[in-house]
């Protein structure tokens, strides 16, 4: 069960409105790697966690914190939209510069949400839950989480560079620091799990059931051989179970496929005589 | 530029048709972490790569290979759909078991694709490009890739467990092995990058610009203290830049937000007298 | 800022697993009118609320409660998926009935989420934020909320009728009761607002600026006159500003549109001579 | 069956082209609460209506009218796009203001639709049918309809405020008036239905099957007590079946969930010894 | 403006309910090439038509007819859902066959739409407007229309084969016939347009501005030379403007791309020394 | 299996960066009719092709070539984004023109992809696989392909008109020429197929099973009779199987639908007495 306090986790006070920046800031609220994504992802991972209560507890801790980040960003965006120049558009036809500024806004911030934040990204695309994953395998999911925090911090940093508003930068410096912690946290949790099992996910699938011949070879499918100088092309494999090989000229190992004709009730194209008699194999 | 050979990278020959399994197998073809996802993700990362040609080459190698995996899965699914029982449905009203088997199919495999594979997942949801990321920051993206290969191998393993068809299992054992290689590959590439820069993405943002006070503290937002026993709650941080702390009772540090009323042209709810005079702060 | 307690708001304990029902129950978790929808809708309405702090407080109360409902449903679904018959599918080819039962499941509950709940609906379609609205106008939004609680309670009742599991029914009886409260709550809030302003949203747009002639007439665009017996076809209008009229034969009041040809750089179809000379008015 | 007359229901003649405004106007054509939404929603409600022919007739009347509104908006948008400055963009690099004006357009209005209207919203997001609902329960659906007309009229009013074009305003004044009628109409129909049944949807579910203890209590899940001053926190409930209560400190009533470990064929994270022996419950 | 008559364009009376078939029939109502698609596509093409009033008139004729097809299908689906076995599910746990039949239904037909049709496809995926095109170029669009009617008729035929219900087949035989007409109609309109302009769309782009060297050559990018036996590999081109050539070994004509490093404010991966000094060209 | 060469199929070298144009160019990369669409569409048609190996070979030839077009566009877009003015935005508040230029960009080109191309369209909407079709019927699918190449060439031509950059125009002139070839190619393949079967898809459905009475009549559902002057309204039908007729006043041929009331467990609106006794037929 959840509880809410009225105060924000950290201040969200812009120096002044900036409706064009409000559009951009939506990315880290409702985008692919925005705060809604991590909140939902961590909560569902926690709720679905089977055993290993330490991780369940940790996931619900951080999932709950992320809702507070959603709240901070929504509050900031609403303030950045204060006094968006709707009415003055009447004069904008005389003032093309003002028209242009409004062109940089998301029109839905006026028409749909009435100067409020939206659960969408900076292109106006709605958040959807296929951005998240809760697979039941914690090592797989913690890698998803480390990626989300890496992409998220990168995006916040780019947004930090795109403004000089001290209030906005102050809030972003808080979110950047939390992402530093969260990247560290997932690295720590991954290290714990990798020490208890193989780093290859899932660690419980019998090795003899996979095609060993191709389990450690790098295939050079794009002409050019710079890729052979990477760590992945020679030496001990990272899971200590094999040795990296470099396959400079990978060749097909399978059949040239030829499908059966469809039964008549499918009403595909009929087989042509030429195909039946000569060209068709 | 790309070239195609008619032979598959590895065999895709089922023992016999199984249209219900064909629906399930779609997940690793056109799902969130299916082969289309990794093919597109690696290719766009490669095409967008600025400098660091070794990584560009490697990304295009593996991206090109992944298209071959899409091809193998599509070919397998088409064969699993051979002779799907459309016409016999006329008798199915007398045979509820047959009706039930058909109930487990994706009806679009008959109506829309005429016994062909589709670029969708096992719920019939179309693939979309928001499944992918190419951020320009290779460390962030390689973490995305390691996650995708971890989720992908997990899903293929679950599908392996769900069939006894030897031909299907043979092909899956190949894909599982390639995912073993690809997890190893991304781990190797990540290690290379982390040795050249801080493991926190992006490594180039000045430390003094983030709110240091909260950059290494774990916040216990969900009652229960099992999370304090994790590696993330004490000791040296993973980036060697700080010390993990456990904040047992995190408190708000920000304001209780109060937004300005909207200008009249937004036509929000008017302020009520009661709010203006007494209750409203 | 948010806090979490480990206990659920109400019990979520099924008598026994039922993976087919788990698929259905997803509707009220991640569907159009599921608990994620109301949680997100109320929280964004609260965060975007400008003035009128009583409503902001209330919205954040109920939005926070709804996250607890998401948690209950996710927990229930995970338990309904316990022991989903993956492995036994090996025998299912001999047992078409078992195969059929599995046909009724969402295959992603095994392949993707590993027996966990997903933020999707009962058709496997992911939740997206276009299900929600926070317009800034509270009367409009409270009507959205009353609708969401009406659709939501209707769906939960239909799900209640579809199971005999006592544990599931116990939890649903709680959710049904909360929806009773929430419908009452939005009706109460709507009544408050309608007493302070006109019931027509928005109440602040000057009446003289709308085309008065058609503001209270019902237009009979579908042949058949049963609609004239409704309350909407005669008598005082509900906003007390007009009188309902019944227009039995509504006629066009506008022009027959004729658009200008496109400029050449658009490369539309050229105008044909016949159109230019005779037929093309 | 349907018939079409060439004339529009009302005039759609702008004073002059305005391609930036064309982008905005798309919202009420193809947005969440645009005219396509209400047309489709009312028609499907009518087609699915079981009995109660008066309502079926009425739904088909208004659904048919709404297609005429789609037509008016499409016609208007096409005219607003007349002479959009494609070619002159060659000079725009010298004229940043012109470039900016074009920046405010939806580029698809040139590239994709060739100066035509699109069934999308003002962010360029396509219309989809999850915007609509036809549940079979008329009271629930009429509340959806009242909401749609409230949000829709609000959006049209905001668009009215955003232009000074007399022709556009003339057409919008017509749509605003029709939305006035339609809000009145749904209020009238709702009143009719509420008088024949309880206002809680669905009215046919036995009261004793819902958890009575929580059917009328307001839960204060967000710190701060302003919400207790609302009509919803005390007094007779709106359905006259109970009395509102204010629960100042709502506590969990359910279990702390603990899920069973997944079977091995799911390949989740294995249980760690530490969880089995001490920390894990 | 539009008008509606209560009678259907043709009968929609199934012999008996069949909720599993109802799910399948959704494909041609709300799928990619269903009746909603063609209705919306033809209407928007008509509304956006600039000049050439004969085609505008024709498009609005057929677009209006297609709404009647949506109506027929919705009516049919609602009847196929009559008496869907919700309540008896209580006994279904004892009767796995019944459970299986219900497994073949779309659960939303009970939970969401209450035995009504939905504007979705047979996988439960909502209709969206990116299925349609109205480009302003009639020849391009008529080809889209011919494709839609071809795919649509193919799907209806497959559905015809999947049932023995005489009432359903009677209605489908009507739709199949109308699709025969509509394919003929678009072929006729295409022939008209091709006789007035080049068959290559758009016909108004100057030939000298395209790279003539590659305008008529077939490139053999997939090993295997069967494709050279096609009409497209030799002889006069279809537009009579060139001669088909077969390029057996197509080679790249462009550069090996090498992108500039990103500016520092983008925070991409830094350039590594090794790349700068030796490997990086 | 697939192979990649580092060189592009044709040059992609802009004269200079133009981040606003980069946004527009996304349309033909990741839009409805962009290069990803045709690449995926042709490859899936080829992989699903049953018999008729000549067409399979040809489809894989062109599908493979289209991936090279995706590569060229991605490379071009990345270069157009070189030096996008992020940092200088600090000064943009003093320079509204610069702000406006940035307003015309897709903000995700900076925040998400770090100056890289994205698999989205010019409105920022992600590519999805419902843009494609592979039905198993080659004549139907080749019509889809001819449409895709017609819409695609039209869009590239409009983009050509929208820039004066010689490098961009050079690359587009190549793509335009290839689309000329591909339109010719699909016309040739269609002619081949139509000569072997009836032009009505599918050609294998027995004529006597469709409702002959309406298979060749044009229905005038939109008032106005200009449509009768078209080739489709009189004369021999295009399939030589009938004669076009013009139905000036099409009338309903079906029933006025009246659905059964829903069973009580659906909890629809109850039947009202008035409906039962008098008005309800």
Q: Is residue A279 part of a domain?
A: no
Contact residues, chain E, for F127 at CB < 8 Å? none
Closest partner CB to C107 (pick from B23, B260, B262): B23
Is B127 in contact with F126 (Cβ distance < 8 A)?
no
Q: Is residue D13 part of a domain?
A: no
Query: Is residue C220 part of an annotated ligand binding site?
Result: yes
Look up the CATH number of the domain holding residue E25: 1.20.1260.10
Q: Say whether B61 and A184 touch across the interface (CB within 8 A).
A: no
CB contact under 8 A, F50 and A261: yes
Residues of chain B in contact with residue A63, where contact means CB-CB under 8 angstroms, are 222
In the predicted model, is pLDDT for residue F254 greater than 50? yes
At residue E117, the pLDDT reads 98
| Sheet of strand B235-236, all strands in order from the earlier edge strand to the far edge | B217-219, B243-247, B235-236
Find the helix or strand (DSSP H, E) in which E54 lies: helix E53-80
Of A171, A196, A221, which residue constitutes the final position of a domain? A196
Partners of residue B218 in chain A, C-beta under 8 Å: 61, 181, 185
Would you say residue B139 lies in a domain?
A: yes
Do F126 and F47 belong together in one domain? yes
Please tell me whether D182 is known to bind a ligand.
yes
> Do A100 and A222 reside in the same domain of the chain?
no
Q: B180, A87: Cβ pair inside 8 Å?
A: no
Task: Copy the structure tokens of residue F197.
Answer: 């079967």
Is the pLDDT at C86 greater than 80? The verdict is no
Residue with tokens 């705060």: A35
* pLDDT score for B280: 39
Annotated binding residues of B for Mn(2+)? 35, 66, 69, 149, 182
> Model confidence at D97, in pLDDT bands (50, 70, 90)?
low
Q: Is residue C270 part of a domain?
A: no
Contacts of F130 in chain B (CB under 8 A): 126
Judge if C152 and C211 occupy the same domain: no
* Minimum distance, in Å, between the CA of residue E160 and any CA atom of chain F: 10
What six digits make up the tokens of D241?
Answer: 């079946």
Burial of B86 (0-12, 13-18, 19+ CB in 10 A): buried
Q: Are residues F97 and F216 in the same domain?
A: no
Domain count, chain D: 2
Which of A50, A103, A126 is facing D100, going by the closest CB pair? A103
Return the percent helix, strand and coil in chain F, to nearest 5.
55, 5, 40
Of the candidates E79, E226, E252, the beta carbon closest to that of F259 is on E79
On whether both B54 and B112 belong to a single domain, the answer is: yes
Question: pLDDT at position C269, please?
Answer: 87
Whether A218 is covered by a domain: the verdict is yes
Nearest beta carbon to residue E158 from set A154, A158, A267: A267
Q: Which two tokens stand for residue C220?
A: 């009979």
Is E149 one of the annotated binding-site residues? yes
User: Among residues A134, D4, D218, which one has the least CA distance to residue F224?
Assistant: D4
Q: How many Å lie between the alpha carbon of B275 and the closest alpha carbon of chain A?
A: 17
Per the CB < 8 A criterion, the answer to whether E117 and E74 are in contact is yes
CA distance D242 to chain C (A): 10
Domain ranges, residue A128? 19-196
Asked whether residue E86 falls in the same domain as residue E127, the answer is yes
- For C191, D73, D127, the CA distances from D29, given in Å and listed in that order, are 30, 6, 9
β-partners of residue A247 are A219
Residues 6 or more apart in contact with residue E86 via CB below 8 angstroms: C158, C161, C162, E110, F263, F265, F266
Q: Which two tokens stand for residue D194?
A: 């509420």
What pLDDT does residue C90 have? 45
* pLDDT, average across residues D199-228: 95
Cα distance from B188 to chain E (closest Cα, Å)?
A: 16
What residues of E are in contact with residue B104 (Cβ under 8 Å)?
Answer: 103-104
Q: Which chains touch F (3 or more CB pairs under 8 A)?
A: A, B, C, D, E
Min Cα separation C150/chain B (Å): 23
Which residues of chain A neighbour E262 with C-beta distances below 8 Å?
Answer: none
Structure tokens at C270: 């050229």
Cis peptide before C5 (omega within 30 of 0): no
| A&F contacts, CB < 8 Å | 136
Q: For all residues of chain F together, what is the average pLDDT?
A: 91
Residue E61 belongs to some domain of the structure: yes
Task: Give residue C161's pLDDT.
Answer: 93
Determine, for residues B279 and D154 on separate chains, whether the beta-carbon distance falls below 8 Å.
no
Mean pLDDT computed over C188-192: 96
CA distance F110 to chain A (A): 7
Query: Over its length of 281 residues, how does chain B's per-residue pLDDT go in tens digits?
Result: 999 999 999 999 999 999 989 999 999 999 999 999 999 999 999 999 998 899 999 999 999 999 999 999 999 999 999 977 654 444 544 555 565 556 788 999 999 999 999 999 999 999 999 999 999 999 999 999 999 999 999 999 999 999 999 999 999 999 999 999 999 999 999 999 999 889 999 999 999 999 999 999 999 999 998 999 999 999 999 999 999 999 999 999 999 999 999 998 999 988 776 655 444 33
Q: What is the ipTM of this complex?
A: 0.94
Contact C237, D184 (CB under 8 A): yes
The reply to whether B102 and B213 lie within a common domain is: no
What are the chain A neighbours of B62 within 8 Å (beta carbons)? 219, 221
Question: What is residue A110's predicted lDDT score, i.e. its pLDDT?
Answer: 95
Does E76 or D273 have the greater pLDDT score? E76
Distance CA B37, CA C265 (A): 37
D173 inside domain: yes
Place of tokens 């157009």: F80
Nearest to D204 among F27, F154, F267 (CB): F267
Which position has the higher pLDDT, C16 or A278? C16
Residue with tokens 């190797």, as numbered in its chain: B188
User: Which residues have a Cβ under 8 Å from the Cβ of A17 and sit 6 or more positions away?
Assistant: A79, A80, A81, A82, A83, A84
What is the dihedral sign for C-alpha B269, B272, B277, B278? negative
CB neighbours (10 Å) of residue B273?
A: 10
The residue count for chain C: 281
User: Which of these three, B132, B166, B196, is where a domain ends?
Assistant: B196
| pLDDT bracket for residue C100 (50, 70, 90) | low
Q: Residue B74 in contact with residue B23, Cβ under 8 Å?
A: no
CB-CB contact of F220 with D4 (8 Å): no
Chains in touch with E (3+ beta-carbon pairs under 8 Å) read A, B, C, D, F
Is B35 within a domain?
yes
Which strand (E) or helix (H) includes residue B66? helix B53-80
Looking at beta carbons, which residues of chain A come within 8 Å of C9?
1
**Whether residues F222 and F147 fall in one domain:** no
B contact test, residue of C100, C139, C205 with most B CBs within 10 A: C100
pLDDT value of residue D98 = 61
Looking at D196, D228, D255, the residue that finishes a domain is D196
Contact assessment for residue B52 and residue E275, using Cβ atoms and an 8 Å cutoff: yes
Contact F158 C226 (CB under 8 A): no
Distance CA C40, CA A70 (A): 11
User: Do residues A70 and A35 lie in contact, with contact meaning Cβ atoms separated by under 8 Å?
Assistant: yes
- Would you state the structure tokens that stand for residue A17, as one six-digit string? 């409105």
State the average pLDDT over residues F239-251: 96
pLDDT of residue A89: 43
Look at D266 and C114 and tell me if their CB atoms are within 8 Å: yes
Distance from CA of E157 to the nearest CA of A (A): 8
Same domain? E135 vs E231? no
| Residue A227 pLDDT exceeds 70 | yes
CB contact under 8 A, B89 and E252: no
Q: For the stretch B194-209, what's the b/e string if a residue is b when 16 or more beta carbons lie within 10 angstroms of its beta carbon?
A: beeebbbbbbbbeeee
Chain D residues whose beta carbon lies within 8 Å of the beta carbon of residue F279: 53-54
CA distances from E227 to E223, F134, F185, F194 (A): 10, 19, 11, 18
**Residues in chain B, how many?**
281
Q: Which residues of E touch B207 (CB under 8 A)?
A: none
Q: Which residue has the higher pLDDT, B156 or A264?
A: B156
Residues of C within an 8 Å Cβ radius of F = 154, 157-158, 161, 226, 229, 265-267, 274, 279
Q: How many beta carbons lie within 10 A of that of residue D18, not counting itself? A: 22
How far is the alpha carbon of C50 from chain E, nearest alpha carbon, in Å?
Answer: 34
pLDDT per residue over F72-115, tens digit each?
A: 999 999 999 997 765 444 454 455 556 656 678 899 999 999 99
Query: Within this chain, do residues C179 and C214 fall inside the same structural domain, yes or no?
Result: no
> Which strand (E) or helix (H) includes residue C159?
helix C138-161
CATH number of the domain at D262, please.
3.30.1530.10
Query: Which of F151, F221, F268 to mutate against chain D (most D CBs within 10 Å)?
Result: F268
Residues C135 and C33 in one domain: yes
Q: What is the pLDDT of residues D169-206, one digit of tens each?
A: 999 999 999 999 999 999 999 999 999 889 999 999 99
C158 in the same domain as C69 = yes
Rounded to 10 degrees, what is the CA torsion of C243, C248, C254, C256? Answer: 170
Q: What is the pLDDT of residues C264-280, one digit of tens each?
A: 999 998 877 665 544 43
Calculate mean pLDDT across residues E249-262.
95
Q: How confident is the model at residue F277 (pLDDT cuts 50, 70, 90)?
A: very low
The per-residue pLDDT for D51 is 84
Residues 6+ apart with CB under 8 A from F138: A268, A269, F45, F49, F52, F55, F189, F193
């Amino acid at each position: 069960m959840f509880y809410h306090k009225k105060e924000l986790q950290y201040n969200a006070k812009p120096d002044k409105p900036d409706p064009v920046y409000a559009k951009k800031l939506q990315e880290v609220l409702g985008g692919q790697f925005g705060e809604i994504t991590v909140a939902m992802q961590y909560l569902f991972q926690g709720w679905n966690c089977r055993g290993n209560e330490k991780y369940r507890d940790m996931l619900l801790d951080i999932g709950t914190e992320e809702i507070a980040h959603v709240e901070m960003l929504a509050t900031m965006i609403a303030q950045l939209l204060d006094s968006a120049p709707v009415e003055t558009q009447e004069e904008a036809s005389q003032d093309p510069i003002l028209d242009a500024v409004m062109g940089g806004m998301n029109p839905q911030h006026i028409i749909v949400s009435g100067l409020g934040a939206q659960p969408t990204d900076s292109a106006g695309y709605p958040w959807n839950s296929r951005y998240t994953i809760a697979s039941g395998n914690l090592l797989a999911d913690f890698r998803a989480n480390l990626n989300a925090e890496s992409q998220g911090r990168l995006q916040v940093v780019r947004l930090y560079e795109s403004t000089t508003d001290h209030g906005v930068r102050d809030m972003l410096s808080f979110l950047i620091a939390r992402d530093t912690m969260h990247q560290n946290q997932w690295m720590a949790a991954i290290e714990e799990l990798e020490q208890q099992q193989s780093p290859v996910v899932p660690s419980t699938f019998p090795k003899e059931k996979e095609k060993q011949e191709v389990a450690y070879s790098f295939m050079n499918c794009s002409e050019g051989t710079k890729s052979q100088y990477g760590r992945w092309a020679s030496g001990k494999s990272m899971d200590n179970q094999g040795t990296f090989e470099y396959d400079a000229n990978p060749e097909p190992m399978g059949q040239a496929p030829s499908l059966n004709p469809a039964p008549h009730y499918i009403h595909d194209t009929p087989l042509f005589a030429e195909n039946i008699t000569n060209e068709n194999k």
